[in-house]
Structure 1
Amino acid sequence: MQTTLQDLLALPAFAGVEVLCGQGQLGQPVTWVHISEVPDAARFLTGGELLLSTGSMLAQMPQAEQGPYLRSLAQGGASGLLLELVRHFQEAPKPLVAAAQELNFPLLVSCREVSFADLTRAAHARLLAGQSVPLESSLEPLLAALQETGRAEMFIQAHLGPLLTLPLRPRATLLATLDALLGTNFNVAEAARKLGVRRQTMYYRMEQLSAMLGDVQDAKKQLGLRLALELMHGQGQ
């Protein structure tokens, strides 16, 4: 079952977090929670992320750029923005609120200092609950044998199951990223060029892949992932 923003807000770690805007979107799925203090955060998004910010970057940004910043997050597929109102702001910037209201985009605030590490730890535990991959899977059967014996779908689910539960956009992005990494023997720079993204984006996506699938740089794990992707390609997925 997909985790929603409403599910995360019900966690003890999120106690005291208020929803300023976008209440109608709290049922949308969240795929990841990420701390972000850069103005071009939208470039790194795969879709469904809840971003956490102390406001340090927004405080240095001209007010005229604050609305477009939030719009870029919405266009990038973010599920929401949580802003801490302690050090840099006592209330959410008006251009930010106006843009969030216009887009019905979830803008969350905390009026007390919170540990972002605690928030991300609690959120990721909830997001990854029930998505663990079996520690040992048979990697010996070849593609043909898996297909002929009707075990192809089971094999795909065993190795890629957590990714396949994601909404379409982040699912497609992370599958393409995994495919590029495997195709370049995890040469991050080469995979980044192949996908047309920056290396920082690749490292961010690798963090997501490792959390969902386990150690994706393990040789045996990679073999299973390669076979699973090939099976999916063979099925036209």
Structure 2
Amino acid sequence: MTTWWPYARFAASALALAAIIAQLSRSLQNALAATTDWGGHLLTVGTNFLSFFTIESNLLVAIVLAIGGIWALRHRGDTDSEPQWFAVLLVCVSTYMIVTGIVYNLLLRNVELPQGVTVVWANEVLHVVIPLFLLADVLFAPRRRMVGWSTVLVAAIYPIVWVVYTLVRANLIVAPATGEAWWYPYPFLNPHSVPGGYLGVSGYVVGIAAAIIAVACFVVWVGRRRDRRNPRSSE
């Protein structure tokens, strides 16, 4: 597995990038074909696209997996565990993608979107295939290094910043698809449709935050357990 896993990471990185590019292309095509001023505002459409947690997380995954593959090939002649900084990055992106897979399949899979908005294969790659690969990476990737439990708090920083950014920006943007005076990337963050308004949204935010912390704890625990069992570890 040590021999071919770096190539699996390269393949997953390339697949994630291909899916992102395919979906971005479709979004921009739809914007160019829009008949309303707000629907054809390319800057807003592009920024909205990059504001999805799924898109940002998959971009991070593509970068981190590519770095991991390069590091492994450059160190193919030794038996050291992956460096500490990379282990922390892996915990973060693994947590984000596993949570993405859980949230999508529990809350968003049955949400109906206008025909032609989503590239079906890209949607499945970003929400199912890549999360499953990151789970496999946590469980089976060679040369994993244990990290401290404080890494759980590090993994929580980005989602907190993303939620604050999303809720502040939402009411400053006209939704390209509908012309509404707000735009939320996910329906469970929209206080205009969630029962209870912002109180209802806060319930979803707390629930997802708990899921992020729980998954981060799981990823750290698995890494620590696997590192202790690895006789080649440099720790």
Q: Same fold (TM over 0.5)?
A: no
Which structure carries more relative contact order (alpha carbon 8 Å, separation 6+)?
A: 2
Q: TM-score, normalization: structure 1?
A: 0.28
Higher helix share: 2
Q: TM-score, normalization: structure 2?
A: 0.28
Higher strand share: 1
